Amino acid sequence: MKVTVFGIGYVGLVQAAVLAEAGHQVCCVDVNPKRVADLQAGIIPIYEPGLSALVQQGVAQGLLQFTTDGAAGVAFGELQFIAVGTPPDEDGSADLKYVLAVASTIATHMTSPKVVINKSTVPVGTGDKVKAVLTTTLKTRQQDLQFAVVSNPEFLKEGAAVADCQRPDRIILGTDNPWAEKLLRELYMPFNRNHDKIIVMDIRSAELTKYAANCMLATKISFMNEMSNLAELLGADIEQVRHGIGSDPRIGYHFIYPGCGYGGSCFPKDVQALIKTAEQTGYNTQLLKSVEAVNNQQKHKLFGFLQQHFAGDLQGKTIAIWGLSFKPNTDDMREASSRVLMESLWQAGATVQAFDPEAMEETQRIYGSRADLKLVGTKEAALQNADVLVICTEWKSFRSPDFSVLKQQLKQPVIVDGRNLFEPSRLRELGFTYYAIGRGD
Ligand code: NAD
Ligand code: UGA
């Protein structure tokens, strides 16, 4: 099938590459000329395991192409995906200007029937707004062309985006249009093999399903972070509690890892956006507000440990940091907990000496060159002459360090662990002071 994807970011590019792998012809459109030129030159703008090979394969087979030409993109596919960003507005609600701009491009250039599929995460009611843009523009153009608007939210996780798109848990189709449903069932046939993963519902329910999923996951994390704070005060070990509750299948082991707060481009913004959507209806989401507040507080946890350790005086200290991205296997720094920590450390007069396997360039881009930020090439180099070590992201390569090297390099044998990678008793045996989440001292 011929498909156009507007927006070549995490969602658009991965989705396009995976559709091409399944044999569809995909034209990707982006307004960022550098991004398009890079992709045309074989440079992948984001780090995502498996993506580069898949994009190269799609291009080599002539199934994947990139352009800034919106009109050409509209002419290409009967199916038109919108996969552009929906960043938070100043008040926290989702900014729809990119989504509506794509709707307008499609409406301005279409000369044949189109199914417009919204993959971006959008507030309930956006489908109606997209329909309104199409209806009004086509009326102005005096064109009576058939179109359908579908909500098809995306559930991929960064770091596992390719695998998630190749083998989705579910494919949500928000539509009441049989023509659109038939085309999308055909498109997704290669991904819907062993059992039927397609769930058809109305557009508003599909839009809310996406927010409900992310908010449920964020709620699990904030709940566990609250329990971890309680465990510390009560002399319990949250890791034992996690095992104890996860074994109940009604609770499950997924997404109950306590830590230094959730980050990324989605949970923080989607929780905020749903709070705003609810406010617009006059409903006060007490639970979601607490989820957000607990998370914001948790992001200060590691700095709190450091303040405690240095009795409030961090001036002139050098803090080694392992892991800067908001989670492993990505270079994405959006809303990363490491940023809250680094900014607090700088304010307190400390220097950061950091290593991340993928996010160094992005960190440099965000903060530029500054005397109190040293980005170094290996995890060992981050330790040299540092006072203590903080772990912000649980990259695999941080899980079994040589503790004798750590002890040799650090001025003090102190590890502040935001991801509970080690056993406190073992670290104590090795002579470390170990601060972790919800594990006591
Ligand atoms: P992104 O910022 O990585 O990419 C968005 C792209 O859209 C950019 O390259 C931008 O230049 C382009 N763009 C903006 N306006 C455009 C226009 N008018 N025409 C063509 N291209 C345009 O965003 P993302 O992380 O891929 O997220 C996209 C949407 O998907 C968001 O709503 C997000 O909430 C949702 N989502 C993201 C993820 C994720 O893991 N990143 C997962 C599921 C859903
Ligand atoms: C999340 C969802 O998992 C995806 O299903 C969704 O499609 C996506 O948001 C989106 O809408 O964009 P992502 O943000 O890529 O995906 O990453 P997650 O693996 O969900 O992690 C988010 C944050 O939660 C990370 O900072 C991670 O460290 C933290 N987390 C996760 C915990 O603190 N504890 C856990 O148990 C799990």
Structure confidence by residue, pLDDT tens digits, 58-83: 999 999 999 999 999 999 999 999 99
Nearest ligand to the C-alpha atom of residue 214: 2
Residue 11 reports pLDDT greater than 80 = yes
* Beta carbon of 102 within 6 Å of any ligand 1 atom: yes
In a domain, 66, yes or no: yes
User: Taking a C-beta distance cutoff of 8 angstroms, is the pair 80, 117 a contact?
Assistant: yes
pLDDT digits (tens, 9 = 90+) for 172-185: 999 999 999 999 99
> 396: exposed, middle or buried (C-beta count within 10 Å: 0-12, 13-18, 19+)?
exposed
- Do 335 and 376 fall within a single domain? yes
User: Between β-strands 171-174 and 114-118, what pairing exists: parallel, antiparallel or unpaired?
Assistant: unpaired
Give the per-residue pLDDT at 440. Answer: 72
Instruction: Provide the domain count of the chain.
Output: 3
> 431: exposed, middle or buried (C-beta count within 10 Å: 0-12, 13-18, 19+)?
exposed
**Residue nearest ligand 2's atom 11 by CA:** 266
For residue 257 the two structure tokens come to 């890892």
Indicate which CATH number applies to the domain containing 242.
Answer: 1.10.1040.10
pLDDT digits (tens, 9 = 90+) for 235-272: 999 999 999 999 999 999 999 999 999 999 999 999 99
Residue 289 annotated in ligand binding: no
Q: How far is the CA of 65 from the centre of ligand 2 (A)?
A: 30
In a domain, 440, yes or no: no
Q: How far is the CA of 260 from the centre of ligand 1 (A)?
A: 26
Ligand 2 surroundings by CB, under 6 angstroms = 121, 154-158, 214, 217, 221, 255-257, 259, 262-264, 266-267, 326-327
**Residue nearest ligand 2's atom 18 by CA:** 157
Residue 362 annotated in ligand binding: no
Q: How far is the CA of 30 from the centre of ligand 1 (A)?
A: 10
**Residue nearest ligand 2's atom 10 by CA:** 266
Residue 399 annotated in ligand binding: no
Q: In the predicted model, what is the mean pLDDT of residues 268-289?
A: 96
Residue 283 annotated in ligand binding: no
The ipTM assigned to this model is: 0.98
Nearest ligand to the C-alpha atom of residue 155: 2
Indicate which CATH number applies to the domain containing 426.
Answer: 3.40.50.720
Domain span including residue 316:
299-435
Instruction: Quickly state the pLDDT bin for 133 (edges 50, 70, 90).
Output: very high
In a domain, 243, yes or no: yes
- Do 273 and 236 fall within a single domain? yes
- Do 251 and 313 fall within a single domain? no
Exposure pattern of 200-225 as b/e (b: 16+ CB <10 Å)?
ebebeebbbbbbebbbebbbbbbbbb
- Strand-pair partners of 351: 318
Q: Of 261, 280, 297, which residue constitutes the final position of a domain?
A: 297
pLDDT digits (tens, 9 = 90+) for 418-436: 999 999 999 999 999 999 9
In a domain, 441, yes or no: no
Instruction: Quickly state the pLDDT bin for 441 (edges 50, 70, 90).
Output: low
* Beta carbon of 335 within 6 Å of any ligand 1 atom: no
- Do 44 and 169 fall within a single domain? yes
In a domain, 65, yes or no: yes
Q: Which atom belonging to ligand 2 lies closest to the Cα atom of 218?
A: 24
- Do 41 and 172 fall within a single domain? yes
Q: In the predicted model, what is the mean pLDDT of residues 117-136?
A: 98
User: CA 366, CA 1: separation in Å to the nearest integer?
Assistant: 40
User: CA 422, CA 404: separation in Å to the nearest integer?
Assistant: 15
Q: In the predicted model, what is the mean pLDDT of residues 107-116?
A: 98
Q: How far is the CA of 334 from the centre of ligand 2 (A)?
A: 12
Instruction: Quickly state the pLDDT bin for 194 (edges 50, 70, 90).
Output: confident
In a domain, 50, yes or no: yes
Residue 280 reports pLDDT greater than 90 = yes
- Do 265 and 381 fall within a single domain? no
- Do 379 and 314 fall within a single domain? yes
In a domain, 206, yes or no: no
List residues with catalytic annotation: 266
